[in-house]
Structure 1
Amino acid sequence: MKRRTRLIAYTAAVVAVVFTVGSVLLYNATPKPKRLLEPVAVDFDTSDADFRRSMGLILEQSIVAGNRIAMLEDGEAIYADMLDAIDAAEASITFETFEFWGEAATEPFVEALSAAAERGVAVHALIDYVGSVPAAADKFSRMQDAGVEVIRWRKPSWYELARFNHRTHRKLLMVDGRSGFIGGANITDSWLPGDDGQAYRDHHFRVEGPVVGNMQAAFVDTWLDASGRLLLGEAYFPELEAQGELEAQMVTSTPREGRHRMRKMLMVAIATAEERITFGSAYFYPDAEFLEALVDARERGVDINILVPGDSIDMGFMRHASVNRWRPMLEAGVAIHEYQPSMYHAKLISIDDRWASIGSTNLDNRSFRINKEGNLNVYDEDFAQRIRELIEDDIRHAERYDLERWESRPWHKRLAGWVSMLAGAHF
């Protein structure tokens, strides 16, 4: 009996030592990205060459000339344009999305991707597991049977439990390596009019020109991570000629690997603002330093407008947590607007009508630190002005949230906000 007791104690001690050593090795071997702890101070603005040079270098991703970008609004038009491109594919299709579910939205994509594979196109679909849990299983098996390579990103497994919360939130589609799509829209029935006639409000973009190669490289990097295989060759990376006049920069952000670029990018952009900052975001729950940067910008005279969802938001707990933090911004004169007709899901950024950013990034902790994200930065006055106008067009259908409303919130909404804030690091 004593021998058995000693054996159990010895085993427990060995397990404890292994666990301790393993934990030390794990935390020492896992890179911890540098994180800005205070607003950025710069002596240049978005019109200066210093701005472009700095953004290219600190984000480690090049600015590419010769691009054309078409703007698409709402699910029906967005999906139709994407499906037309898939139907015209000749060599390759690479597709990455977060949400993928619902019969009306997904069935046309399942059919189009399957048909492309059957006619000999190399089709690769990277679909987030969590975002596609509601989808019928036969959607994936049908595509695979047709020859589509389908990977469910971060499907639960014992050896990747520590990374399960690291989702891909990107919305990318590249066809023949020559045209690309990027923006806020997932592939679900929420983006299509339902029985109530309401669909999510969103904006997406079709891109042509050399920067599509950078968009493709972003997908290929994630595909390598997911499959262990590298996609190369003319089918994926053809020589691309100029298609327009826009300078664009594909920026990616990745959890854990030390490439948390989105927050850093936006902190620099906010610091450069001289006249106006205009944001449209489905979720607005940044950290205190980010909010401080906005207040600092407002105090130096920058006009700031932020458009977010109202009561129709699909994550009410996040809205209550966000509102709890708004007082300093409201006191400084930051204008916050809540979109009324339906869930607002766009992710649009415009600074001084000179620089714009479009893509998958929300203004929240998940996008800044946890998710894989992809944004396209555009260095062009006309384009940045148009992005601002898109947001302002939607602000006409929003209600401004002022300080008086903030102060008169009922106690149960304040409580809901504080409870939600306790889990804020995991949003």
Structure 2
Amino acid sequence: MKRRNRYVIAVIAVVTVALVIGNIVLFNALPKPKRLQQPVEVDYGVSDPQFQRTMGVLMQTPIVDGNRIALLEDGEAIYAGMLEAIDDAEHSITFETYEFWGEEAAGAFASALSEAAERGVAVHALLDFIGSAAADPDKLEQMKDAGVELIRWREPSWYELARFNHRTHRKLLITDGTTGFTGGANVADNWLPDDDGEAYRDNHFRLEGPVVGNLQAAFMENWLDASGTLPLGEAYFPELDDAGELPMQVVNSAPREGYHRIRKMLLYAIAAAEEQITIGTAYFYPDPDFLGALTDASDRGVTVRILVPGDSIDKGFVRHASVNRWEPMLEAGVEIYEYQPSMYHSKLLSIDDQWASIGSTNLDNRSFRINDETNVNVYDTAFARDIRHLVEEDLDDAERYDLERWQDRPWHKRLAGWLTMTIGGHL
């Protein structure tokens, strides 16, 4: 009887492990349903009022007027602006990021957030568990001891193993509910110059006006999911006066069914392009349907330019897999450039000098369906033109990757790309 009981227990254990593994594979590896696969076709451009009306409805988030935005270029300026806002905060700070590590970068933020909490500011910090795995434990304890409410997003637990691969890739800082920051930069030493003066190339943005309330709502969405609490009141959601004249829209995307908004948003915007699409992205590995949309845009006469990292990319396997898919785009005339000086980490999109999108989203399937992401759309001619110019300035330090180079690339790079595509599938 005892032997039989041991046998039953062993069978139950094996079945349980199999179910857990199957659950992980099901939720983390397989494509999600209801994914837009048919080409998007519209008979109007991004300058048409119909584009803005449709975008507001499709994304289920309002387009709000009266905003102002300021560009912060590269780590030193980005961190200085964010740390100044933290130091000036009087009521609340909400902070969410993917990477958080490094003596200089994370150390400065840990000290600033701790000091804010000690002077009575309500500080909430949401750090992705994987992205903050290299963080100094003493810095994390310093923040907790000072009164910072700190949560590691998707920290491993037996009852949430199926969601472990769902990372937060958002980069949000909101102080007093009135000033917001978002863009491409994490908080890590890679964004600060090393001994050779090299640092990640990136762009971040400081926002003021009613749109900051929507950024705060984006943070609260994940804070509620992580903590089960929902901070409210004037300290977090004050009345926001107009700070400028820009119409803006916050768009959130998440792995949850029905929340894969950013891929849909980008496909719609690409379909509405009439003259030019200018893109800067750290990782360019979307699905074939997305690549087809860019190819179709080029075929109908739109100038499509894409800036990506070159040899300095921090994930070379992604680059090789991406390059393997470029032939149809290159044949159609899509212009692809590789940034040379350092790792290019920005996430910028401008269409027809009419519409721009900035934020945390890369053009890859991890951003489109596995990560939590937040972008800000700006419906303004001058700003969209500025974003185009920002990418064009970096093109001066880039090399064009043409069809001849693609055809002549060595066999070992082809093999590396094929292996990555095979192992990664459509992720």
Indicate how the Cα distance of structure 1 residues 15 and 66 shifts in structure 2: closer, same or farther if over 3 A, else same.
same
1:357 equivalent to 2:357? Answer yes
CA displacement at 1:240 relative to structure 2: 0.2
**Partner residue, 1:96:** 96
Runs of 4+ in 1 over 3 A off after TM superposition: 3-20, 30-33
The CA distance in 2 between the partners of 1:4 and 1:103, in whole Å, is 56
Structure 1 residues 244 and 364: alpha-carbon distance in aligned structure 2, compared to 1, 3 A threshold: same
- Cα deviation, 1:89-124, whole Å, max 9, x if unaligned, reads 000000000000010111111111111101100000
In the TM superposition, residue 422 of structure 1 has moved relative to its aligned partner by 1.6
CA displacement at 1:257 relative to structure 2: 3.7
Q: What TM-score, normalized to structure 2?
A: 0.95
Identity %: 68
User: Corresponding residue for 1:208?
Assistant: 208
Matched to 1:118, the amino acid is E
Q: Tell me the CA shift for residue 160 of structure 1.
A: 1.1
Cα distance in 2, alignment partners of residues 141 and 383 from structure 1: 41
5 Å-filtered alignment, 1:216-295, equals 216-295=216-295
Which residue is 2:301 aligned to? 301
- CA change 1:392–1:31 in 2 (3 A) is closer
8 Å CA contact 2:348, 2:356 repeated in 1: yes
Deviation at 1:424, TM superposition (A): 2.8
Distance 1:349 1:106 in 2: 28
Contact 1:276 1:303 in 2 (8 A): yes
**Partner residue, 1:406:** 406
Q: Answer with 403-412 or 32-41: which moved more.
A: 32-41
Summarize deviations over 1:321-342 as a string: whole Å, max 9, x none: 0000000000000000000000
Q: Supply the AA of the counterpart residue of 1:403.
A: L
TM-score (norm 1): 0.95
Give deviations 1:61-115, integer Å, cap 9, x for gaps. 1101000000110000000000010000000000000000010111111111111
Which residue of structure 2 aligns with residue 383 of structure 1?
A: 383
Instruction: Measure, in 2, the Cα distance between the counterparts of 1:11 and 1:104.
Output: 50
| Aligned counterpart, 1:153 | 153
Aligned counterparts of 1:262 and 1:184: Cα–Cα separation in 2: 15
Matching residue's letter, 2:279: F
Cα distance in 2, alignment partners of residues 55 and 35 from structure 1: 18
Residues 425 and 228 (structure 1 numbering): CA distance in 2 closer, same or farther, change over 3 Å? farther
* Mapped partners of 2:304, 2:255: distance in 1: 29
Whole-angstrom CA distance in 1 between matches of 2:10 and 2:365: 41
Shift of 1:382: 0.4
- Cα shift at 1:375: 0.2
The equivalent of 1:183 in structure 2 is 183
Alignment CA distance shift 1:47-1:208 (3 Å): same
Deviation at residue 9 of structure 1 after TM alignment: 6.4
Give the equivalent residue in structure 2 for 1:423.
423
CA distance in 2, matches of 1:280, 1:13: 51
1:366 is aligned to 2:377: no
Cross-structure match for 2:85: 85
In structure 1, what is the Cα distance between the partners aligned to 2:115 and 2:422? 47
> Judging changes above 3 Å, is the alpha-carbon distance between structure 1 residues 10 and 215 closer, same or farther for their aligned structure 2 residues?
closer
Distance 1:181 1:190 in 2: 19
1:10, CA displacement in angstroms? 10
Hey, what's the Cα distance between the residues in 2 that align with 1:47 and 1:155? 44
Task: Label 1:17 to 1:240 Cα distance change in 2 as closer, same or farther (>3 A).
Answer: closer
User: How far does the alpha carbon of each residue in 1:353-400 deviate from its partner, in whole angstroms, 9 at most, with x for none?
Assistant: 100000000000100010000000000010000000000000111000
Flag structure 2 segments of 5+ consecutive residues without an equivalent. Answer: none
Please tell me whether the aligned partners of residues 125 and 148 of structure 1 are also in contact (alpha carbons under 8 angstroms). Answer: yes
1:327-338 to structure 2, matched below 5 A, reads 327-338=327-338
Task: Report whether the alignment pairs 1:44 with 2:44.
Answer: yes
Native 8 Å contact 1:31 1:256 kept in 2: no
Shift in CA distance, 290/238, structure 1 to aligned 2, threshold 3 Å? same
Unaligned runs of 5+ in 1: none
1:19-41: CA deviation from partner (whole Å, max 9, x where unpaired): 88x989x989x995521112201
Query: Are 1:32 and 1:256, in contact at CA under 8 Å, matched by a contact in 2?
Result: no
What SS does structure 2 have at the residue aligned with 1:186?
A: coil
- Displacement after TM superposition at 1:296 (Å): 0.5
Which segment is superposed worse, 3-12 or 196-205? 3-12
Cα distance, 1:8 vs structure 2: 3.7
Q: 1:129 to 1:15 in 2, by over 3 A?
A: closer
Shift of 1:258: 2.5
* Residue aligned with 2:131, SS: helix
Structure 1 residue 348: deviation in Å? 0.1
Q: CA deviation at 1:14?
A: 11
Asked if the contact 1:167–1:371 (Cα under 8 Å) also holds between the matched residues in 2, the reply is yes
Are 1:123 and 2:123 matched, yes or no? Answer: yes
Shift of 1:423: 2.9
- Decide whether the 8 Å contact of 1:173 with 1:181 is kept in 2: yes
2:278–2:304 Cα contact (<8 Å) kept? yes
